[in-house]
Amino acid sequence: MLQDTTELDFNGQSIDGLGPLSYEAQRGLYVHPTYAVSTDREPLGVLDAWMWAREPKDANGQHPGIKESTRWVEGYERVAELAAELPDTRLVYVADRESDMIELMARAGELDTPADWLLRAQHDRALPDGQKLWQTVTSGEELGGISFTLPARHGQKTRVVRQQLWARVVDLPHGKNQTIRATCVVAKEIDPPAGSIPVEWRLLTNRTAETLAEVAELIDWYRARWEIEIVFHILKNGCRIESLQLRTIDGLQRAIALYLIVSWRIAMLMRFGRTCPDLPADLFFDPDEWHAAYLLNKKKPPADPPTLNQVLRLVAMLGGFLARKGDGEPGVKTIWIGLQRVMDCVIGLQFIREADSG
C-alpha cells in the first residue's frame, strides 16, 4: 500500500475554494492517495485519496486548519481497516520521508499492527543510550550488498546501483520513558558514477530483518514506491488534470477521484502490456473497445480476441505512437490520448447498434 502527496497547480483559474501551494502565490490543492500494488509491482487500484486546500497563512506565518501530517496516520488506519477484511493477505504500508512520525508507529501499535509499515526515515533520532540512530546502525557488521537498475528520472539516465546494507533492531524514544521497537535499515550506494547523487536510503519498519535476503526484500518493497509517482505522472501529463476548467473545488475533487481511477487503468495497461504481452485482450478491454482500436487504425478486427500488446499498441498509435522497430513500448501519454479516441468510437458503435435494433 503506497502513499504519497502531490500538489495540483490550478494557478490562473477561477475555481472557488483553492488554496496556496508550496509557493504562497500558487493556487491549487493537494492529493494524497493510497495506491495498492503487488510485490511484483502489479497495479491493483486506488483505495482512497485525501484531498485538501490550504488556508492562507495567518499572522504567525502558519497555515490554520487541520494538521496536514494527520493524513499519514489516517492513511495507515485506512490500510488497517482493509487488512481486517483480508485476513489471508499481509498488507504493507509504504511511504516516504514525511511519514517518519512516531505518532504513526504508535498508532499502528495501538491497533495491534494489522498491517506492516515501512517508512523512509528523515530523523536521525537520539536513542535511549544517547547514541544517534544512523551511526548506531552502520557501526554494526554489514550484511552484504545488492544491485538493481534505477530507472531514469529527474534528468538522470537509467543506471545500475550497487548498495551496501546494514540493519539493526532499535528502540525509538516515544514520550516520557516509552519506546517503540523497530528495525532500521541503511542502504548506501557504492562507487556512484561521477556527477551522480549517491542513492542512500534509511528505512524504519516493524518487521524483523536479520538476513541479507530479508533486508533486500524490504529495499525492493520500498523501491516499489516509484509506482505511485507513475500514477502522478499519468494524472498530470497524461490526463492533464491541471488543465480542467471547473468552477468549484467540490467538482474538482470528484473529477480528480475519477481521473485517479483512469490513471490506475493506464498504469495497469502499460505494466501488463510489457510484462504479460500475450494475455488475451478481452481480460482488459470490452469487445467494443478492442474492435474500435482496429477500426480506427483501418484494420479488420480478428475473429478471436487478439493479445493485450497488440491492442495496446493500436490504441497508442491513435495517440501518436509510431510503433517503429526502435520505439520500444508505448508510454502513458499516447495510451491516454488513444483511449479517448477509442471510447468516442465505442459510443458510436453502441449508438449504431441501438439504432439498428430499434
pLDDT band, very low/low/confident/very high, at 357 (cuts 50, 70, 90): confident
Residue 124 burial by CB count (10 A; 0-12/13-18/19+): exposed, middle or buried? exposed
**pLDDT exceeds cutoff 90 at 333:** no
For 191-234, the pLDDT digits (tens) are 888 888 889 999 999 999 989 999 999 999 999 999 999 999 99
**pLDDT exceeds cutoff 80 at 58:** no
Task: Flag whether the pTM goes above 0.75.
Answer: yes
Where in the chain is CATH 1.10.740.10?
276-357
Give 264-267 contacts, CB < 8 A, sequence gap 24+.
Answer: 264/35, 264/43, 264/45, 264/46, 264/231, 266/234, 266/238, 266/332, 266/335, 266/336, 266/339, 267/43, 267/227, 267/230, 267/231, 267/234, 267/332
**pLDDT exceeds cutoff 70 at 185:** yes
Which pLDDT value is given to residue 358? 62
Angle at 48 between CA 347 and CA 54, to 5 degrees: 105
**Where in 192-331 does DSSP place strands (E)?**
200-205
User: What share of the chain has pLDDT > 70, as a percent?
Assistant: 99
- Name the CATH superfamily housing domain 276-357: Transferase Inhibitor Protein From Tn5; Chain (1.10.740.10)
Q: What mean pLDDT comes out for the span 116-124? A: 95
Which residues, in sequence order, are CB contacts of 193 under 8 Å at separation 6+? Answer: 159
Q: What mean pLDDT comes out for the span 44-64? A: 84
Asked if 147 contacts 220 with a C-beta cutoff of 8 angstroms, the reply is no
B/e letters for 200-226, b = 16+ CB within 10 Å, e = fewer, are ebbbbbbbebeeeeebbebbebbbbbe
Which pLDDT value is given to residue 81? 94
Pull the grid cell for residue 193. Answer: 558514477
For 299-309, the pLDDT digits (tens) are 999 988 899 99
